[in-house]
Amino acid sequence: MKMKIGFLYGFVFVLGCFSFLSHAEGGEWAIVGPRALGMGGANVAVANDATASYWNPGAFGFFSNPTGGDYGKRDWSAQLPEVGVGVQVHEDLGEELNKISQFDFDTLDSGQISAASVSDFIQLVSALKSFDANQNRAITVLANGGSRVQVGHFGIGGYLSGSVSAKGDLDLVNISPVSSGAATDTIAALSDTIANNFNDGSPVPTGDYFFATDPTAETSLITNISILPGWDITTATNFVQAVDYGLGQAGITVPPEITTLIADVAQLASDTVLSGGGSFSDNESKLLFKGIAVLETPLTYGRAITDDFAIGGNFKYMQARVYDISVPIFDTQFEDALGTATDTFIEKNNFGIDLGLLYRFGDDLRVGLVGRNLNSPKFDVFKEKPQIRAGFAYKPISFVTLATDVDLTQNETTVGSDFKSQNFGAGMELRLFKILQVRGGAYKNLAQNDIGLVYTAGMGLNLWLINLDLGVSMASENNKIDDQDVPKEARAEFALSMLF
């Protein structure tokens, strides 16, 4: 008993040392394998087959070991293959992108904005400004897959994980409703029309309709319109009074919000033209694609230090692809842009080191700690910083396993430097009739609140030597696309494995 307590203190000490690395930033921790996904991404102290090379190589110290309990029964195992895909929609990107895609940009780029297009133009500019205001609006595509073999205390495999994020980089300068060269002519023509209607040169009569609810609005509106290129105070005053008079003759009262809207449009047109902006034909809004794909080929070895404490590690060859490309947003379909992005990359190679610790309290309670990429391997334009994760597993009865994992580091993502990932997950596995496993759980990114809680489920079917496993996840919060509620995150994983 004293020996167990001593190793427990030692394990907690090492955990504390790893915790000092919590300010380091690594790539986002991937959820590898359908069993792990079904259990809420909690597998550091659960994985008991070839997948332990990723989740905790310390488990290899107990494999094929008479004193290793449940782990000791595993002589060899293979996972051939494992495939996973997922999508995350950050913030309200889907809803905002959907708004923008509804507009007819050819109509708005006709050289000058028509009366019929005014409403579309105002809504489009509003949508563009709203979209650009939040730089964490992004969509991320996740993919992983691989094969692994474990023989006794040794393992070898190949594992690919990748994520590509897309977000907007919007041009809010080239959004003028008229081309810069035609602005003066258009305004001059309007001024002439007003003058011809009142050719005696006297001020245009004003009614009590346009500004009836807010007398001060007239001054504000005239001031805003007068700063348009080609307008002066006299032209703006005549224009406003002519509109007011015409509405008065028609018996129409305009709500005050319309007055404000007209003033805003005048200011917007002035800002875009005076700042050197042009029309939508000059617009340079882009979708930015940033992504990383890493192929790892680990050699794994584990050793039991005592009957209850084991340590293991990976020495792995790593090949990384880095994606960084921009695609025009107004003349390219999103699917085409994503295809273009994934065909353009920088590729570099390096080596990485992982370390895992696993402590057992008999077969009922286990605690694990794993550090990945502890040597911070560099790949020219980026480096994989250390990832540290802790996990616990408890079996209250022989056929039920409860587990929880937590990232001890805030990890980087492809969304952006200020968008971090630090997941906490928990789940359970229920084994029925030795042939069926049912799983459930949930996980959440503690560093961000945009997606919220993600629920998971899964099942495994044991057909003698072959195991079929499936895991899925779905976010509790939705995003609206085409008026349909779509989960902010969804994943699916499938694996075929052999266990002996």
Q: pLDDT, tens digit, for every residue of 311-333? A: 999 999 999 998 888 877 666 56
In eight-state DSSP terms, residue 378 is B
**Has residue 435 got a pLDDT over 60?**
yes
Q: How many CB atoms lie within 10 A of CB 168?
A: 21
Residue 183: per-residue pLDDT: 37
Under DSSP, is residue 425 helix (H, G, I), strand (E, B) or coil?
strand
Q: What does pTM read for this prediction? A: 0.76
Chain centre to alpha carbon of residue 415:
5
Nearby residues of 161 by Cβ (< 8 Å), 6 or more positions away: 30, 32, 143, 144, 293, 294, 296
Q: Is the pLDDT of residue 39 over 50?
A: yes
- Asked if residues 347 and 320 have their Cβ atoms less than 8 Å apart, the reply is yes
In whole angstroms, what is the distance from residue 179 CA to residue 422 CA? 48
Residue 320 per-residue DSSP state = E
pLDDT tops 70 at residue 195:
no
Among 181-195, 253-267, 270-284, 322-336, the range with the most confident prediction by mean pLDDT is: 322-336
Residues 145, 37, 146, CA angle at the centre, nearest 5°?
15
In the structure encoding, which two tokens stand for residue 26, read together? 């690594």
The region of weakest confidence among 85-94, 253-262, 381-390, 467-476 is 253-262
Mean pLDDT value across residues 183-191? 38
**pLDDT of 20 over the 50 cut:** no
Residue 154 · residue 134 · CB < 8 Å = no
pLDDT of residue 102: 72
| Segment 455-494, tens digit of pLDDT | 999 999 998 889 999 999 999 998 877 677 889 999 999 9
For helices 256-274 and 118-133, angle between their N-to-C axes, nearest 10 degrees: 70
pLDDT at 76 over 80: yes
**Predicted pLDDT of residue 158:** 94
What is the overall mean pLDDT for the chain?
78
Three-state secondary structure call for residue 177 = coil
- Check: CB of residue 44 under 8 Å from CB of residue 459: no
How far apart (Å, rounded) are the C-alpha atoms in residues 360 and 58? Answer: 11
User: What's the confidence (pLDDT) of residue 166?
Assistant: 81
Greater model confidence, 436 or 20? 436
Tokens 């809803």 correspond to: 95
pLDDT at 270 > cutoff 80: no
Lowest mean pLDDT among 16-30, 32-46, 291-305, 456-470: 16-30
Residue 350 has pLDDT above 60, yes or no: yes
pLDDT at 226: 66
Spatial CB neighbours of 323, under 8 Å, sequence gap ≥ 6: 164, 289, 290, 291, 292, 293, 341, 342, 344, 345
- Short-list 384, 363, 359, 372, CA closest to 300: 372
| pLDDT of 23 above 60 | no
Instruction: Tell me the Cα Rg of the chain.
Output: 31
Q: What is the pLDDT of residues 111-144, one digit of tens each?
A: 455 545 555 666 676 677 667 767 788 889 999 9
Residues of the chain with pLDDT > 70, as a percent, come to: 64
**Residue 302 confidence (pLDDT) above 60:** yes
155: CB partners within 8 A, 6+ apart: 50, 52, 53, 57, 60, 148, 149, 298, 299, 300, 301
Per-residue pLDDT reduced to its tens digit, 208-235: 434 444 556 666 667 666 655 556 777 6
Q: Given the structure tokens 């001054």, which residue do they identify?
A: 219
Instruction: Give the Cβ contact number of residue 250 at 10 Å.
Output: 9
Strand partners, 492: 85, 472
Q: Count the Cβ atoms, other than its own, within 10 Å of residue 58.
A: 29
Higher-pLDDT residue of 243, 76: 76
454-460 contacts, C-beta under 8 A, 24 or more apart: 454/489, 456/37, 456/38, 456/39, 456/40, 456/41, 456/425, 456/427, 457/38, 458/34, 458/35, 458/37, 458/38, 458/39, 459/38, 460/34, 460/35, 460/436
Within 10 angstroms of residue 258's Cβ, the number of other Cβ atoms is 11
Give the least confident one: 176-185, 243-252, 293-302, 312-321.
176-185
Q: Which residues pair with 53 in a beta bridge?
A: none
Task: In whole angstroms, give the CA distance from residue 311 to residue 478.
Answer: 42
Count of C-beta atoms within a 10 Å radius of residue 216: 8
pLDDT at 181: 39
pLDDT of residue 170: 78
Report angle CA 168, 171, 177 to the nearest 5 degrees: 130
**Contact 156/148 with Cβ under 8 angstroms?**
yes
Identify the CA nearest to 477 among candidates 94, 96, 127.
94
Among 17-21, 427-431, 496-500, the range with the most confident prediction by mean pLDDT is: 427-431
**Structural domains for the chain:** 2-93+138-172+286-499 (2.40.160.60), 94-129+173-282 (no CATH)
Cβ pair 411, 27 in contact under 8 A? yes
Average pLDDT of the segment spanning 88-95? 80
Window from 55-64, 263-272, 416-425, 441-450 with minimum mean pLDDT: 263-272
- 3-state helix vs strand vs coil in the chain, percent to 5: 30, 40, 30
C-alpha span between 414 and 341 (Å, rounded):
14
CA–CA distance, 186 with 387 (Å, rounded to integer):
61
Is the pLDDT reported for residue 3 higher than 50? no
Q: Residues 355-378: what's their mean pLDDT? A: 95
By the 8 A CB rule, do 242 and 285 touch?
Answer: no
